[in-house]
Amino acid sequence: MPEIIKNSDLSITVNYHARELGKRIANVTLSSHAIAIVGCVNPGENLSPPKGSMVEQMQIQSERIKPKDEKIQGSLTLIPPLVPSGSDICPNKYCSTGIVSLTYENVAMEIKQKILIY
């Protein structure tokens, strides 16, 4: 079973391993719908939520891996969505933006291999 780790930079990493795959290259894909609430960070480093600033993105990461002894293992990481700049959403021109809350929904991992039929 995959292990999901929340990282300090707000990304998530999924460690995986699979067996009985055969010898063909496996395509491993990790995906999630990410929803971030974005706030303004003032010059004093205080974060406050703006009025209704939300960012949604589909996050996808994939890799190709050749099985060894019909097994694979590795990890994939999804990063937070890109957020707008402070000048786009903050009332103070000296503010930057930061993520107030972040949700990764429907995290899914898929492992596919091509099968040859003779």
pLDDT, tens digit, 9 for 90 and up, residues 60-104: 999 999 999 999 999 999 999 999 988 888 888 888 998 989 999
Q: Pairing relation of β-strands 26-41 and 96-113?
A: antiparallel
Does 91 map to a domain? no
Does 93 map to a domain? no
Q: What is the pLDDT of residue 92?
A: 83
Provide the whole-model pTM: 0.83
Distances (CA, A) of 14 to 18, 39, 82: 13, 27, 20
Does 36 map to a domain? yes
75: amino acid identity, one letter: S
What's the rounded mean pLDDT across residues 40-44?
A: 88
Does 118 map to a domain? no
Count of domains forming the chain: 1
Q: What is the pLDDT of residue 103?
A: 95
Domain residue limits at 38: 3-83+100-113
Beta bridge partners of 102: 36
Does 18 map to a domain? yes
Model confidence band, residue 34 (pLDDT cutoffs 50, 70, 90): very high
Residue 116 makes CB contacts below 8 A (sequence gap 6+) with: none
Does 25 map to a domain? yes
Does 92 map to a domain? no
Alpha-carbon gap, residue 101 to 60, rounded angstroms: 20
Q: What is the pLDDT of residue 52?
A: 58
Does 13 map to a domain? yes
> In 10 A of CB 95, how many CB atoms?
21
CA torsion 8→10→11→12, rounded to 10°?
A: 80
What's the rounded mean pLDDT across residues 99-117?
A: 90
